[in-house]
Structure 1
Amino acid sequence: MTALTAGRNTPQIAGDIRNGLLAASTTVFAGSLLMRNAAGFVVKGATATGLVGIGRAEDAGDNSTGSAGDAAVLYRPGVFRFANSAGADEITVAEIGDVVFAVDDQTVAKTDATASRSPAGFVDDVDALGVWVRFDEVLTKIATA
């Protein structure tokens, strides 16, 4: 490709809703914590390695009988409240700004449980109902690299 010699209409993504291709044998529910696997496909939050949080499912997605990429789900990055873990993994206001880790598709924890959990996002706030998690896939990857 050569350098521009005239103006160019450079496309952009407007809005904050994204469309992600689901991994094989995957079903997600609206409102669930979503992650991307190493192959680039979307999965629900789970205690697993090799994933990174991407946001909240905006609708349900069913690829339970399909191959990777046969179905898609709408998701949104941003700040959303999920359930807090318990015991030594319970997140407090002291962890605001720290990376949190996915336990399942609705729960986050303070630690990676000896490298068995993947990063979901960052603690934005904590209240009596749960943990407000900020999802930014790129920043989460950088912070945990």
Structure 2
Amino acid sequence: MIDWSWKISRVYPGLDPHAKSGDDYPARVYVVAGNPFFPSTLRSLVYVWANGPVSAAHRGPNGTPFYPDPYTTQAEIVALRQGAAGAGSWVSEHRDLRTDLARAFGPGHDVIGAVAVMSDCDDAHGHGEAWYGDIHFEKRDPPDSGL
């Protein structure tokens, strides 16, 4: 499990998140899985606060949209938040990272090599701010045995 909190000042409306020219997000959390000695094995799961509604290649739990990164086939974007709702407030996230990685890339992508955060607005030609709380991992609860 991965947990964190984030807060944004605003979204950047009018960008197409599926195009390189619209690949700006007020907040992102990258999780890189794979073996750094073999770059072809590296995959990035990119949790984003999207600027608005996005279409999905496939959906995760609770309908969370997953879609390809417009720059590389080695990354998949997960739009946890879509639009301005919640901007200006701290929002907490709690994700089953192993399940999300398997949904995005198939089984076997569960060795985490790096976690990074990013905020950018170069394509939007604007200004934005984002704040990130502590990012931490916790062991997933075992399945209920029914006992």
User: Which TM-score band (shorter chain)?
Assistant: under 0.3
Q: TM-score, length-normalised on structure 2?
A: 0.24
